[in-house]
Amino acid sequence: MNNKILDLNIPGREIEMSRQEAEELGAFEESALSETDAREAIDIEDEQAGGLTDGQR
């Protein structure tokens, strides 16, 4: 598996992995923000910067 990991850094190279190998590398982990979390992050930044709140837009 170490060779496969190194090969991932080569542009254009296609690497075949088993589902287990992919899971070990985190291929199926969802790390994106939810829409709600993203909106809350924007509101916090707007308030800290003295920007407009949702009611003022």
d(CA 30, CA 18): 19
What's the pLDDT at 21? 92
pLDDT in tens, the chain (57 residues): 788 888 989 999 999 999 999 989 888 888 888 999 888 888 665 555 555 555 655
What's the pLDDT at 48? 57
What's the pLDDT at 43? 67
Query: Which one, of 26, 55, 7, 44, lies nearest residue 16 by Cα?
Result: 7
What's the pLDDT at 18? 93
End-to-end, the C-alpha distance of the chain in Å comes to 52
Global pTM exceeds 0.85: no
DSSP 8-class letter at 34: P
